């Protein structure tokens, strides 16, 4: 089990070299973001259609994906997200490539998913708080993001 997880993180989320093509890095970032969004929808143990629809719209808009690309990204992210035991590999990849403003934008998207079903559970709030800490987002910016995305 541990070797399987290690292989997954080495293969999919770590950067093998500084010369890795930008397309590969972008694909990994897309997958990391998709997994984080999906984790928010699962946090309260009630994945709703509204949350799933919101995730699809976010991913399609943010990464300008075709329907086929979107379906593939979601399928891969769901499969790999089921094996994720820590947010750290996802957030460290994001930390390496996103500016602070991009991290705040991602945080806003996480809140949008959490609020998509009309209510915010303590579990969704907890997961987003942990992600924000791993992304080194200031607590004041975490709160501003949360309040700005409330319905």
Query: For position 8, what pLDDT does the model report?
Result: 56
According to the model, what pLDDT value does residue 106 have? 93
Quote the mean pLDDT of the chain. 82
Cα end-to-end distance, the chain, whole Å: 41
pLDDT value of residue 21: 66
What CATH code is carried by the domain that includes residue 83? 1.10.3680.10
Give pLDDT, residue 15: 40
pLDDT at residue 16 tops 50: no
* Cα-based distances in Å from 6 to 2, 62, 89, 128, 144: 6, 29, 11, 24, 36
Residue 1 domain-assigned (yes or no):
no
* Domains held by the chain: number: 1
Q: What is the pLDDT of residues 72-100, one digit of tens each?
A: 888 888 767 667 777 888 888 899 999 99
Residue 58 included in any domain: yes
* Residue 61 placed within a domain: yes
Report if residue 132 sits inside a domain: yes
- Residue 9 forms part of a structural domain: no
Residue 29 domain boundaries: 25-148
At 3 the pLDDT is 58
At 43 the pLDDT is 84
Do the domain assignments include residue 65? yes
- Answer whether residue 133 is part of any domain: yes
* 10 vs 82, higher pLDDT: 82
Q: Tell me, yes or no, whether 16 lies in a domain.
A: no
pLDDT score of 101: 94
């Amino acid at each position: 089990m541990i070797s399987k997880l290690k292989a997954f993180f080495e293969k999919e989320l770590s950067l093998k070299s500084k010369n890795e093509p930008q397309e590969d890095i972008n694909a990994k970032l897309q997958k990391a973001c998709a997994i984080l969004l999906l984790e928010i929808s699962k946090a309260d143990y009630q994945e709703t259609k509204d949350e799933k629809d919101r995730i699809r719209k976010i991913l399609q808009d943010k990464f300008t994906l075709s329907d086929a690309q979107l379906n593939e990204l979601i399928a891969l992210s769901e499969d790999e997200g089921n094996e994720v035991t820590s947010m750290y590999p996802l957030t460290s990849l994001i930390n390496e490539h996103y500016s602070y403003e991009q991290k705040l934008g991602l945080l806003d998207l996480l809140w949008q998913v959490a609020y998509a079903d009309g209510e915010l559970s303590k579990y969704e709030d907890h997961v987003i708080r942990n992600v924000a800490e791993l992304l080194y987002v200031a607590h004041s910016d975490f709160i501003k993001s949360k309040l700005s995305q409330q319905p």
